[in-house]
């Protein structure tokens, strides 16, 4: 059983898939990462059902961290939580950070962290990363 699992929620399936590829370059394989991007039939948007299924695929993890891109992806994620049983929903947390920098920092930290707080702190700290 993995300690931490990650779900990437984007309005674009391509962004979610690309971000998964990026973060897995820094992942030692100990953190399962699931992409849940796009709406049904390949449209731009989000799907609470896709997000719910991604979370359910990580049900063996102790903590499931969700990284989302825009406002309605948060709403879709919260709707997905409503579909989950209480025990699984209690393992889930939406991380408030920029999706690319935060997910990358979070996955790297999750490969060595002891606590979920350490992973969240690294993810949220990525907000202050300078690009120059």
Phi, psi of 94 (to 5 degrees): -80, 130
Q: Is 11 a catalytic residue?
A: yes
The catalytic residue among 4, 5, 6, 11 is 11
SS (H, E, C) the chain: CCCEEEEEECCCHHHHHHHHHHHHCCCCCCCCEEECCCCHHHCCCCCHHHHHHHHHHCCCCCEEEEEECCHHHHHHHHHHHHHCCHHHHHCEEECCCCHHHHHHHHHHHHCCCCCHHHHHHHHHHHHHCCCC
- Catalytic amino acids? 11
């Amino acid at each position: 059983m993995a300690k931490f699992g990650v779900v990437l929620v984007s309005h674009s399936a391509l962004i979610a898939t690309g971000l998964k590829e990026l973060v897995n370059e820094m992942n030692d394989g100990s953190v399962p990462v699931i992409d849940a991007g796009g709406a049904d039939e390949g449209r731009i948007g989000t799907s609470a059902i896709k997000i719910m299924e991604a979370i359910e695929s990580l049900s063996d993890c102790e903590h499931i961290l969700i990284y989302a891109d825009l406002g309605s992806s948060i709403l879709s994620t919260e709707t997905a939580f409503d579909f989950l049983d209480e025990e699984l929903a209690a393992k889930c947390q939406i991380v408030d950070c920029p999706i690319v920098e935060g997910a990358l920092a979070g996955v790297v930290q999750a490969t060595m962290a002891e606590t979920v707080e350490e992973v969240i702190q690294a993810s949220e700290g990525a907000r202050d990363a300078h690009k120059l």
